[in-house]
Structures are given as C-alpha cells and as structure tokens.
Amino acid sequence: MKKVFLFEALHEATDEEMAKDSTVFVLGEDVGHYGGSYKVTKDLHLKYGDLRLLDTPIAENSFTGLAVGAAMTGLKPIVEGMNMSFLLLAFNQIANNVGMLRYTSGGDFHLPLVIRGPGGIGRQLGPEHSQRLEAYFQGIPGLRIVACSTPYNAKGLLKSAIRSADPIIFFEHVLLYNLQAEIPTEEYTVPLNKAEIVTEGSDVTILTYSRMRYNVLQAAETLTNLGYSLEIIDLISLKPLDITTISNSIRKTHKVIIVEECMRTGGIGAELTAQITEHVFDELDAPIIRLSSQDIPTPYNGKLEQATLVQPEQIIETVKSIC
C-alpha cells in the first residue's frame, strides 16, 4: 500500500491507461503544459506529447464535439472540464451526440468517452462555479454517471471508465482533491455500477455520495457514541443506481435517509426516493427522508454558502428523529 492524494490517484490512473493503450488521450483547457487546473495531468505532456495531452481553446462545445468524433473513429478521449459547470456549454454535444449516437447509428458507432473534472460546491466559488450537474445529466439516455469519493475508488473507477465502451460522466469533487489515503501499489479496478457499504448497521440506512460521505461520517462519530447503528452506503454509481445493494440494506434497517449535495428538486435523492418506493416500499417503517442542498443559486458569502448545504448537525438530529 502507498499513501496518495486523490488528485494523484487520478493522475496514476490516467498515466497507466495511456501507457497501456495508445488510443487514450486527454483534451481540455490547460490539460497539457499547465498540468490541469487540479494537476491531474501534471507533466504527462512530457511523457506522451502535445497531441495526447491536447490543450484546447476555451470552447467547450467545440472540443467536446472533437472528442465525440475521435471516439467514433476508434480513439478513447478523456475530456477534462476545468470546472464541470463549464460543460453546460457543451450540453448539446453531451445530450444529442454522446448519449445518443450509439443508438441513432444502429450500433455502428461506439463512444468510449470519459468526461471528467471538478464539480460540486467548493469554498466561495459563487453560483456559476458551484453547480450540481449530476441532476442535469441524469435524464440523458445513454450515459453512465459515477462520482468518486476516495483516492482508492477514484483510481479504480477512472481506470474502469477509460476501458468502458460506454460514455461515462465522471464526477470529482473540488474539495476532495487533497484528500489523502492508502491505495494498493498493484493494479486494480473498481466496478462502475456498484455502491460501497462504508459501514454496516441495523438502525437506519444512510445513502450518500461524493463529499457528503464525509459529512455523514462526521455525524456518525457522534451517533455511534450515542448507541445508534448506522448502515452508510456511498452510491458511487449515480446512473444506474445500485438498487440491489440499496434494497438489501433497507430490508435490514427499514429506514432510510438520503444525504446529498444535489438540489432537492429533481436531484439524485428524488430519483432514489422513486426507485426505493417502487422496489421496497413495503419494507419501510418510516417515510424516506431527503437532506439536500437548498433550491437556490449557491451564494458567494461563506456563511450563506454553508447554510445551503447539509451539515453534520442536521444529519444527527434527523437520525435521532427517525429512530
């Protein structure tokens, strides 16, 4: 085992897959000589050259379209959004081409394409740089969506995503790049469609993902000392949801709390609620509770920004009330 930062784990995954497969390349703003806005591609241009670490103009719709064409003709592009919010400018390419071309071509074209980069609510980045894009992309047919949360799953998931024949939206959280943990020194991958049971418990199931995993774990320290038994599940796969793991947990605890950074209206929690109701409604002993971000643009003011997000104290009080 070795200890690495999350951004280093993503760097290793990219480097290893580029070394193994000459069709893999990275494109985006400042991914080459600058090394990426969070240094995920640092110095890779020295090893692989400027065409495999392709610095693009500030034109998201154009370079995402370039990646679509490259994937159709046999390459494996990794598109880095300097901030995932900027990829709203490429929404047409992602929705009408990335998600649909395999279907509309009758299966003649595959799109082994990864779209990755920093997203989520950071520290006073303002509303336009604090988007929760998982809800925007969730309804697009043909896409898979994953959200990494640890150095271990970041590396394993990115390697799996690069090798996948399907287009993957790969979410990294802007505040998790400097998270440090141990990962194996030998090669490994992580499945793209599986949730992770972080802790096992019997009183209540808590479903979360990305940065909110750590707010839940912070709350869990207090709750465990108070005698509560929590089953914490990191969703990882946001589309498709691992409803099997989720359902098995609810059959054990009979209560569920969803903790997300996504907006409440039309967010991941809303889809989770629908699927849980469809699959295991009769197992529930209490209503599903959603703890989500406020349905407002994220304020720049630091205290207001924190007030829009789910805090550990809210999770503690919610567990107490449902149990």
Sign of the torsion angle spanned by Cα atoms 149, 132, 247, 202: positive
Annotated active-site residue 182? The verdict is: no
Active site includes 173? no
The active-site residue, picked from 29, 129, 271, 305, is 129
SS3 content of the chain, % helix, strand, coil (to 5): 40, 20, 40
Residues 233 and 246 sit within 8 Å (Cβ to Cβ): yes
The DSSP call for residue 128 is: G
Q: How far apart are CA 214 and CA 259, in angstroms?
A: 11
Copy the structure tokens of residue 170: 């790969």
CA-to-CA separations, 177 to 78, 137, 149, 193, 250, in angstroms, rounded = 18, 22, 9, 22, 32
Which stretches of the chain are DSSP H helices?
6-20, 44-48, 60-72, 91-92, 101-104, 134-138, 151-163, 212-225, 243-253, 268-280, 302-308, 312-322
CA distance 40 to 305: 27
Catalytic residue among 60, 80, 260, 271: 60
**Catalytic site residues?**
60, 129
